[in-house]
Chains A and B, each alone.
Chain A
Amino acid sequence: MAVANVSAHDVSNHDHHDHEHKDNFITKYIFSTDHKMIAKQYLISGMFWAFIGGLLSVLFRLQLGFPEMDLSFLRPILGGWIDASGKLDPNFYLALVTMHGTIMVFFVLTAGLSGTFSNFLIPLQIGARDMASGFMNMLSYWFFFVSGVIMFASLFLEKGPAAGGWVVYPPLSALEQAIPGSGMGMTLWLIAMTFFIASSLLGGINYITTVINLRTRGMSFSRLPLTIWAFFLTAVIGLLSFPVLFSAALLLVFDRSFGTSFYLSDIYIGGEALPNTGGSAVLYQHLFWFLGHPEVYIVLLPALGITSEIIATNSRKPIFGYKAMIISMLGITILSFVVWAHHMFVSGLNPFLGSIFMFLTLIIAVPSAVKVFNYLTTLWRGNLRFTPGMLFSIGLVSFFISGGLTGIFLGNSAIDIQLHDTYFVVAHFHLVMGSASFFGMMAGVYHWFPKMFGRMMDEKLGHVHFWLTFVGVYMVFFPMHYIGIAGFPRRYYSWTNFSFSDMYTDLNMFVSVAAIITFFAQFIFVFNFFYSMYKGRKASANPWQSNTLEWTTPIHPGHGNWPGEIPAVYRWPYDYSKPGAKEDFIPQTVPLSATPESNLPHENKLVQLEKEIMAEEGDVLVANESKES
């Protein structure tokens, strides 16, 4: 707390405008250490990657929905990957699904979501001038940028990018003889991921430190908005799990380049028996999923935090069960580390381990269920404003239910035997992790756009964007459940080789059309985003009439966020529609002593305490002032 006070004085003592002007283009827009600018950098990068990732999915959906189609018109972009008869190369098909997965999971939903909103909201919502280390924060973005450049470059390799699925299981990913993408493409994938992991760790350490140390006066953990709780726990998960992915990748590098046998054993390929013995391919899967499963929550928790905040604000109601929400998130955080092997029920894992992981997996469904019921109760008897942010949040809740429930099938090892690696799994994780998190991100952008750019996004375009995307996502992923129950395997270039899967061409066509429409609907958002940035209606200071601290900053917050003293916090962030209060919201900065008409009995007792603290703080401030003058 002392640190926050000292820095408060530094900034308020010199004229704020002079400080702003010292930034030149490079320090302001490129190598910025301002958390708000870094957040925008993450956001724009995330949008770029979402476009690439989405485009790749359109390409492979064309193959799956219209297997007979002549794709020669794509030759200007894809060149040799379209063969003489206008067909997509099967190796490149695998590269497409691999890169789609990698890009969406890591670059869009980890960096684009967590990177944007953790950076943007943590200092603003806890009342801090900036992140604990602005420089590390800048490094975090630029490591991510380098990672992105390398991954992007790998798309243009002659032999194609990595193609062994986003999980890059060895031996496929270790042996170039097995698939061309495991050559240079895989090398670049590993280098890019190394930079990405470094970036995540730099960011995560910063988020954790900032939340613990730089909260403003009165901002106790029990008064933190749920967004901050979510970002905080996400950072903790990332910090504990990404290094394990790093170790997995490192051992893979050794196997690929230095002749070790961590994952390789008893392999005869390309007419020769390799010398590697004693390794275990399953070891890689354990290491990978030790990150891979927590990664699901790294992607999901920030989205859940964002929606908690947006749903409460736009329902004009306190979030129901604030404490239960925090406990659920804590539960999810801890349990996320002990469920990883449910991805491996049929990998040859000891069946006894399978049963243990089945029990642990289904336990994690309980906190998730609690969260859903709490969201529903928050809506109940609310006064709902359907801002685009609110709509996307409701969409998230719907996806979280739909995708979460299918997790109960997959977490049950006996049922998973049939469903593993079929389209049922594809439907499951695209709803619960992909679409839900994507909707959380969209909700966040619509909701905090006014804070980011001082202007409003167009509401009606937002509504159109929401409905097209919401219906579109269901039309893409809901039919996949049927295809999955019918046993269609994932990552198949074509299903016509098998009589059990030689059907549903109509349904696959439908899915592909829906995917293409949904993809193009995103351009409504892109237009709205860039247009509103320059030409949108000017935002008021608190356009959503929200309680949290970020709306007490100027409309265009400068470096340091608040021009004067950082406001103190006197209450939790969810005092919406409090009985007795004049307005239907009471910002966190309003002291309890100023609202005797609406205080609850236990809050009246706190008023006295609050007054004492304020008096004490006043003394300290006066003392500081006199020391300086």
Chain B
Amino acid sequence: MYGLLISIGVILLILVIWMVYRIQTLISVAKGSDKKIATTSNKVNAFLMMFFLIGCGVLMFWYSIKEFDNYQLPIASEHGLVTDKLFWITMAVTGFIFILTHILLFWFSYHYQYSEDRRASYYPDNNKLEIIWTLVPAVVLTVLVVSGWKAWSDITAPAPEEAHVVEIMGYQFAWDVRYGGMDNTLGDYDYRLTNATNSRGIDFTDKNSFDDFPSQNVVIPKGEPVLFKIRARDVLHSVFAPHMRLKMDAVPGMPTRFWFVPNKTTEEMRAELGDEEFEYEIACTEVCGNGHFSMRKVIRVVEPDEYRAWVAEQTPFIKSNPDLIADLPADLKELAEIYINEE
């Protein structure tokens, strides 16, 4: 019943608009104003240009200032300080140009609206002006690029030797984390070795894998370099740690990496934000299937001492599941058992 009433109402409304539209057209034809150019609607449009400029300008400033703390994520890595600084410098430069050009665009539109007693000025070119506004953007961009390039080279430079290695492997739809153990060296892997008990395809004939251990969360020390070794098991994924300003695709068949220095522990960040629940997170930013939006992993940043203590108490794969080394050649197996029996 309501549906019928609503549709009748809508139809009536459309008919009214239709009538108004027809009448308006007829009047304009009768008055001959459809031949004129400097009409009221020309003025209205010119006015709306200014109205839009001021209205949306105010809206933009108001919202940008009001929401600053919400959209500006806290930074938790050293390079993040650099990239965010670049971001805000770029924002200042482009923001200035954005506002300037828009004021000109809408002001010119308003100011030079059609008038019958004026003629546009014939101004087809001016090479000096062209050169100026080719060179100025070129110089400004060069400055931005060079500073970006420096930051980029530092960020992507090879990781320091002593960086703590963490392997992050993406698969549909979660991340698996692996540490190299006391020797900080990950054992080899081969995707063909993947099975239910060995989800990462670790090659246990490589001695480096004996002390490798898994972890529910990514745990890393504050103030020391950390190297993420990133890979994927099935399709593309992308490791995105927004607070660390870190992102790198996980590619099947092509390991990638990203190193950084976390500069705030989880506890410090909790205190700073006044949020006891706060956690650093990893999300996936390369579309990977229907669970793409749910690949969450928590990063826990701790003090270096706490980190070392934590590493020491983790259990290697082969200790929690000795079946993993059941098929090893005798000499390797013997060696592995030393690891297992070690306290």
Interface residues, chain A, with chain B CB atoms under 8 Å away: 89-91, 94, 164-165, 169, 171-172, 175, 178-179, 264-269, 273, 277-282, 315-324, 346-348, 351, 354-355, 358-359, 362-363, 365-366, 369-370, 372-374, 376-377, 379-386, 391, 394, 397-398, 401-402, 405-406, 408-409, 412-415, 417-418, 420-422, 458-461, 463, 467, 470-471, 474, 478-479, 482-483, 485-487, 489-495, 497-501, 503-504, 537, 574, 576-579, 584
How distant is the Cα of A391 from the Cα of B41 in the complex, in angstroms?
Answer: 12
Q: Which residue of B lies closest to A272 (CB)?
A: B194
Task: Decide: A268 and B201 in contact? CB cutoff 8 A.
Answer: yes
Instruction: Identify B137's interface contact among A91, A365, A386, A413, CB under 8 A.
Output: A365
Task: Decide: B83 and A417 in contact? CB cutoff 8 A.
Answer: yes
Residues of chain B with a CB closer than 8 A to A320's CB: 123-126
Task: Decide: A266 and B281 in contact? CB cutoff 8 A.
Answer: no
Task: Decide: A322 and B114 in contact? CB cutoff 8 A.
Answer: no
Q: Does B163 contact A (CB under 8 A)?
A: no
Q: Which of B173-191 contact A (CB under 8 A)?
A: 191
Residues of chain A with a CB closer than 8 A to B151's CB: 414
Residues of chain B with a CB closer than 8 A to A579's CB: 122
Task: Decide: A406 and B94 in contact? CB cutoff 8 A.
Answer: yes
Residues of chain A with a CB closer than 8 A to B278's CB: 499
Task: Decide: B108 and A279 in contact? CB cutoff 8 A.
Answer: no
Q: Which residue of B lies closest to A466 (CB)?
A: B45
Contacts A318-B122, A382-B108, A414-B148: A503 and B70 contacting too (C-beta < 8 A)?
A: yes
B64-84 CB contact bits vs A (8 Å, 1 = yes)?
Answer: 100100111100000010111
Q: How far is the CB of B86 from chain A (nearest CB, A)?
A: 5
Q: Does B155 contact A (CB under 8 A)?
A: yes
Task: Decide: B114 and A494 in contact? CB cutoff 8 A.
Answer: no
B217-249 CB contact bits vs A (8 Å, 1 = yes)?
Answer: 000000000000000011110101011011111
Task: Decide: B102 and A497 in contact? CB cutoff 8 A.
Answer: no
Residues of chain A with a CB closer than 8 A to B37's CB: 385
Residues of chain B with a CB closer than 8 A to A280's CB: 253-254
Task: Decide: A384 and B253 in contact? CB cutoff 8 A.
Answer: no
Task: Decide: A376 and B141 in contact? CB cutoff 8 A.
Answer: no
Ranked 8 nearest A-B pairs via Cβ: A265-B253, A351-B156, A487-B242, A386-B45, A412-B148, A414-B151, A266-B253, A348-B256
Q: A172-B287, A346-B248, A482-B63 are in contact. List 13 more A-B contacts (CB 8 A).
A: A90-B291, A94-B292, A179-B290, A282-B254, A317-B123, A394-B105, A401-B101, A408-B90, A414-B86, A463-B41, A463-B45, A479-B63, A498-B296
Instruction: Identify B121's interface contact among A268, A358, A381, CB under 8 A.
Output: A381
Task: Decide: B105 and A281 in contact? CB cutoff 8 A.
Answer: no
Task: Decide: A369 and B71 in contact? CB cutoff 8 A.
Answer: no
Residues of chain A with a CB closer than 8 A to B243's CB: 500
Task: Decide: A172 and B289 in contact? CB cutoff 8 A.
Answer: yes
Task: Decide: A175 and B235 in contact? CB cutoff 8 A.
Answer: yes
Q: Which of B291-322 contact A (CB under 8 A)?
A: 291-294, 296
Q: Does B159 contact A (CB under 8 A)?
A: no
| Stretch in contact with the other chain, from B5-13, B127-135, B207-215 | B127-135
Instruction: Identify B233's interface contact among A267, A398, A402, CB under 8 A.
Output: A267
Task: Decide: B242 and A370 in contact? CB cutoff 8 A.
Answer: no
Task: Decide: B254 and A491 in contact? CB cutoff 8 A.
Answer: no
How distant is the Cα of A408 from the Cα of B144 in the complex, in angstroms?
Answer: 9
Output the residue of A421, A474, A500 with the most chain B CB within 10 A.
A500
Residues of chain B with a CB closer than 8 A to A474's CB: 56
How distant is the Cα of A417 from the Cα of B242 in the complex, in angstroms?
Answer: 10
Task: Decide: A282 and B251 in contact? CB cutoff 8 A.
Answer: yes
Q: Does B15 contact A (CB under 8 A)?
A: no
Instruction: Identify A266's interface contact among B93, B171, B236, B252, CB under 8 A.
Output: B252
Q: Does B342 contact A (CB under 8 A)?
A: no
Contacts A380-B112, A384-B113, A415-B83: A486 and B236 contacting too (C-beta < 8 A)?
A: no
Q: Does B327 contact A (CB under 8 A)?
A: no
Residues of chain A with a CB closer than 8 A to B42's CB: 385-386
Interface residues, chain B, with chain A CB atoms under 8 Å away: 21, 24-25, 29, 34, 37, 41-42, 44-46, 48-49, 52, 56, 60, 63-64, 67, 70-73, 80, 82-84, 86-87, 90-91, 93-94, 97-98, 101-102, 104-105, 108-109, 112-115, 118-126, 129-130, 133-134, 137-138, 141-142, 144-145, 148-149, 151-153, 155-156, 171-172, 191-192, 194, 201, 233-236, 238, 240, 242-243, 245-249, 251-254, 256, 277-279, 281, 283-294, 296
Task: Decide: A348 and B249 in contact? CB cutoff 8 A.
Answer: yes
Task: Decide: B134 and A366 in contact? CB cutoff 8 A.
Answer: yes
Task: Decide: A415 and B90 in contact? CB cutoff 8 A.
Answer: yes
How distant is the Cα of A474 from the Cα of B121 in the complex, in angstroms?
Answer: 32
Contacts A281-B236, A537-B34: A412 and B145 contacting too (C-beta < 8 A)?
A: yes
Residues of chain A with a CB closer than 8 A to B105's CB: 376, 379, 394, 397-398, 401
Q: How far is the CB of B158 from chain A (nearest CB, A)?
A: 10
Q: How far is the CB of B299 from chain A (nearest CB, A)?
A: 11
Q: How far is the CB of B202 from chain A (nearest CB, A)?
A: 13
Q: How far is the CB of A385 from chain B (nearest CB, A)?
A: 5
How distant is the Cα of A369 from the Cα of B98 in the complex, in angstroms?
Answer: 11
How distant is the Cα of A380 from the Cα of B123 in the complex, in angstroms?
Answer: 9
Task: Decide: A485 and B71 in contact? CB cutoff 8 A.
Answer: yes
How distant is the Cα of A439 from the Cα of B110 in the complex, in angstroms?
Answer: 20
Instruction: Identify A268's interface contact among B104, B194, B249, CB under 8 A.
Output: B194
Q: How far is the CB of B274 from chain A (nearest CB, A)?
A: 14
Task: Decide: A584 and B120 in contact? CB cutoff 8 A.
Answer: yes
Residues of chain A with a CB closer than 8 A to B133's CB: 369-370, 373
Task: Decide: A279 and B152 in contact? CB cutoff 8 A.
Answer: no
Q: Which residue of B lies closest to A279 (CB)?
A: B253
Task: Decide: B279 and A499 in contact? CB cutoff 8 A.
Answer: yes
Q: Which residue of A lies closest to B155 (CB)?
A: A414
Q: How far is the CB of B137 from chain A (nearest CB, A)?
A: 4
How distant is the Cα of A500 from the Cα of B297 in the complex, in angstroms?
Answer: 12
How distant is the Cα of A94 from the Cα of B293 in the complex, in angstroms?
Answer: 11
Task: Decide: A385 and B114 in contact? CB cutoff 8 A.
Answer: yes
How distant is the Cα of A409 from the Cα of B172 in the complex, in angstroms?
Answer: 31
How distant is the Cα of A269 from the Cα of B252 in the complex, in angstroms?
Answer: 11
Residues of chain B with a CB closer than 8 A to A365's CB: 137, 141
Task: Decide: B120 and A382 in contact? CB cutoff 8 A.
Answer: yes
Task: Decide: B148 and A413 in contact? CB cutoff 8 A.
Answer: yes
Q: How far is the CB of B138 from chain A (nearest CB, A)?
A: 5
Q: How far is the CB of B171 from chain A (nearest CB, A)?
A: 8
Q: Which residue of A lies closest to B231 (CB)?
A: A266
Residues of chain A with a CB closer than 8 A to B242's CB: 418, 487, 500
Q: How far is the CB of A503 from chain B (nearest CB, A)?
A: 6
Residues of chain A with a CB closer than 8 A to B149's CB: 355, 358-359, 413-414
Contacts A269-B233, A503-B70: A420 and B108 contacting too (C-beta < 8 A)?
A: no
Q: How far is the CB of A159 from chain B (nearest CB, A)?
A: 12
How distant is the Cα of A358 from the Cα of B86 in the complex, in angstroms?
Answer: 14
Q: How far is the CB of A499 from chain B (nearest CB, A)?
A: 6
Task: Decide: B283 and A489 in contact? CB cutoff 8 A.
Answer: yes
- 24 pairs from A and B in contact (CB 8 Å cutoff): A172-B236, A172-B288, A178-B172, A266-B252, A267-B234, A281-B236, A317-B123, A321-B130, A324-B130, A348-B249, A348-B256, A355-B149, A363-B141, A386-B41, A398-B105, A417-B155, A418-B80, A422-B285, A461-B21, A471-B56, A478-B60, A482-B63, A482-B64, A485-B72
Task: Decide: A383 and B119 in contact? CB cutoff 8 A.
Answer: yes
Task: Decide: A414 and B82 in contact? CB cutoff 8 A.
Answer: yes
Task: Decide: A412 and B90 in contact? CB cutoff 8 A.
Answer: yes
Q: How far is the CB of A358 from chain B (nearest CB, A)?
A: 6
Q: Which residue of A lies closest to B44 (CB)?
A: A463
Q: Which residue of B lies closest to A493 (CB)?
A: B293
How distant is the Cα of A577 from the Cα of B115 in the complex, in angstroms?
Answer: 13
How distant is the Cα of A192 from the Cα of B266 in the complex, in angstroms?
Answer: 50
How distant is the Cα of A510 from the Cα of B183 in the complex, in angstroms?
Answer: 53
How distant is the Cα of A406 from the Cα of B91 in the complex, in angstroms?
Answer: 9
How distant is the Cα of A572 from the Cα of B291 in the complex, in angstroms?
Answer: 58
Q: How far is the CB of A348 from chain B (nearest CB, A)?
A: 4
Task: Decide: A351 and B152 in contact? CB cutoff 8 A.
Answer: yes
Residues of chain A with a CB closer than 8 A to B254's CB: 265, 280-282, 348
Task: Decide: B120 and A355 in contact? CB cutoff 8 A.
Answer: no
How distant is the Cα of A363 from the Cα of B138 in the complex, in angstroms?
Answer: 7
